[in-house]
Amino acid sequence: MFDMGLIEMAMVFIVALLVIGPEKLPQVARTLGKYVAKARRFVAGVRSDIERELHADELRQILKDQSEQIDDLKEVLDDTRKHLNTTATDVAEEMQAEVNEAAEMAKIDSGKAGES
């Protein structure tokens, strides 16, 4: 965490022993350990919250992208539906014209047959 080597830690221990004294040093070390543990838990909680928020943002972005893709697909489907309706209408009109033409031909043929 602080990147301290063995020599640095020994120096801190010797200074603490001289300043605090051998009677109170264990109690101070326990108290210091409790505060360090609380600080580590706090940092871990903050890190967890940040990671959770980042993950939630990623999920929101994925949902937004998928929603845009769905909208694009809906447009393609609507265009295809309109094209198919137009094509079906055109085919129906062509078939009706052919039927009408065949009916006219049948009338002409039946009129010629009646004259002969």
Q: Work out how many domains the chain is built from and give that number.
A: 1
In a domain, 12, yes or no: yes
pTM exceeding the 0.85 threshold for the entire prediction: no
Q: 103: domain range?
A: 6-115
Give domain status of residue 1, yes or no: no
pLDDT at 81 over 60: yes
Q: DSSP string of 4-68?
A: --HHHHHHHHHHHHHHH-TTTHHHHHHHHHHHHHHHHHHHHHHHHHHHHHHHHHHHHHHHHHHHH
pLDDT of 114 reads 59
What pLDDT, in 10s, does the model give residues 4-58?
A: 788 888 888 888 888 888 888 889 889 989 999 999 999 999 999 999 999 999 9
In a domain, 86, yes or no: yes
